[in-house]
Structure 1
């Protein structure tokens, strides 16, 4: 609307949308993902809000993807970062670095997917909706067992209070009605407080929010005086890089 002189969207159509999206790429120099997000938002506005079907926008100049190297911390920087963390935030960050998991993959771990005997973690519905197995570092066995003990105390309190059911994916809760209350399906990193699921209106305990870990890692990086951009995902890149530097085969890392 601002780009076209504060005209109302109903008075504009495909030509104006194409002009704006092309402007984003050619004049503003935005990333391809930013342009695609703007395109999706405009298509939603016209289709769902205004009830207007825009033709296929094939005259748009697309923003180019830029190949960028990922940020990688040195082993010394990783140690400094983890030293500034504590509690569940430390354990989550240590698992991301020690297993190569993504942040949400780590937070969505279920108790049944932790195998201490085989020192393995099963990642469910990862990128591409695929399951995979990753390593469980030996120095995290005891901290992870202590975390599970704390989670079990919370779960037992919830059961005593008439709660204790956890969200299950797909239709598993219908197929296995007793499964949501069993210990194996509980989150490894449960939230400190219960909340109401807005989709179903059910009060239950979710896993830790990713924003809390992101904020903790950013604060730890600042205290550790790490000048590189630092987020939880950086630990995944660092894991892969350090594995390769240690002589592991790239196919094994992949």
Structure 2
């Protein structure tokens, strides 16, 4: 299998290439363009790729521009820190959409999906593959605007605009309001992340999702990480990893 990785962060491109190589040792990485211009130039001259992994936010703009300039025939798996582009991504030969940080198990599922679609398409034309891909897309759900939480023995709802952050701690997920109130919510961070408006909420790390209105101050930390001061104040150090730092800054600047 010939794969192209379009990614402007070398560490991220190398990490993804390593994951793919471990999952499919016979894979050949043909190229790793880091910008729209580089990707367009490469794809215009080379059409032998079987699959493309493509980050949406590149150094010179939105990568959907690539597919407006070049008639790409192979399927695409998009990678990004934001899920609001999912619908547009699925209009561009996309068979999957992976949110960063990318995990090996997510890539494995995406590759299996690609192989399944290829197998189903052995006796069909490319137009039929497009139809199959469209049928396989998950339905998009609206963003959550309220949350059911526990208050003592009772259940109450908290409006979405009052949610400052979500914290996973020892198997329990808490919702913190801007007023400093803390409630237990009966969902995992993974479930919440898929339901939240990612223009307003960001998954900082495995334990924490923050509302953009709760970010008060960002301080550079060692090794490219970021330390956050948030409201309401939390009794813990909140650090954005080196891997998530650029995506976090892009999210704040949308």
**TM-score, normalised via structure 2 length:** 0.26
Higher strand share: 2
Higher helix share: 1
